[in-house]
A = this chain, B = another copy of it.
Amino acid sequence: MNTDQDLKPQVKRKRGRPPKEVGGRGVTRECLVRKGIELLTAHGYASTGIDKVLKAVGVPKGSFYHYFSSKDDFGRAVIDGYGAFFAAKLDKWLLDETSAPLQRLRNFVDDAKAGMERYEFRRGCLIGNMGQELGGTHDVFRGQLEAVFLDWQSRIENCLIAAQDAGEISSNADCAELAAYFWIGWEGAILRAKLVRSTRPLDLFTNAFFQGLPTKG
């Protein structure tokens, strides 16, 4: 994994505007954001230098400040990119009509768990990481990160409402609250899973979550 096959050509370029690459239209910016997601998730915002991202993608420094006005601006783009990427992943699982609603949620959880294992519990969730690192100090990021959580949360909420409609959980259940509870515990479990390098915290939380859901009534 991560064989760096998706980066810009490492060929030595001349200065100035480069000759028009047929396939490459705005590819650079997207590559930067993609690498940013990868590196910020793994090492955090403060610890990840611009240079690291640039070197990993094979793009010179000058380009960076053409596409982004500052590191913060880049950070915002990275958060948006990750938020959208993960929202799509949520939809993929939670809107899958071939499974019952609660099973969809389980499927998502299993997929996310597999992702944690695949990266050896080194990355976790970019939004959780940046929230922890910058939520207390950086107001702009704080609002943006919370907005991403609310977006994800509403997708879980909709899935729980579907479960209600399907009679899987009680019609009295407060799905919005349960969805909020889900993300609180899930992010806490990811943090702990990084420390113990195991899915145990994830299993512990999700088992309790599903078991605690109000049964039909």
Contact = CB atoms under 8 A, between A and B. Distances in A.
A46 interface: yes
30 contacts: A42-B137, A46-B46, A47-B133, A121-B136, A122-B136, A124-B136, A128-B132, A128-B191, A129-B132, A129-B133, A131-B191, A131-B194, A131-B195, A132-B132, A132-B133, A132-B191, A132-B194, A135-B195, A145-B195, A146-B195, A149-B192, A177-B204, A180-B201, A181-B205, A181-B208, A184-B191, A185-B188, A187-B188, A188-B191, A212-B212
B194 A184 contact: no
Max chain B C-beta neighbours (<10 A), residue from A149, A194, A195: A195
A204 B180 CA distance: 8
Interface in A67-112: none
A204 to B, nearest CB: 6
Nearest to A177: B204
Question: This chain: how many copies in the complex?
Answer: 2
A133 to B, nearest CB: 5
A72 B126 CA distance: 24
A71 to B, nearest CB: 13
Interface size class of A (residues with CB under 8 A): 35 or more
A195 B59 CA distance: 34
A152 interface: no
Contacts of A131: 191-192, 194-195
Nearest to A133: B44
Contacts of A184: 185, 188-189, 191-192, 201, 204-205
Interface in A174-217: 177, 180-181, 183-189, 191-192, 194-197, 201, 204-205, 208, 212
Contacts of A177: 204
A142 interface: yes
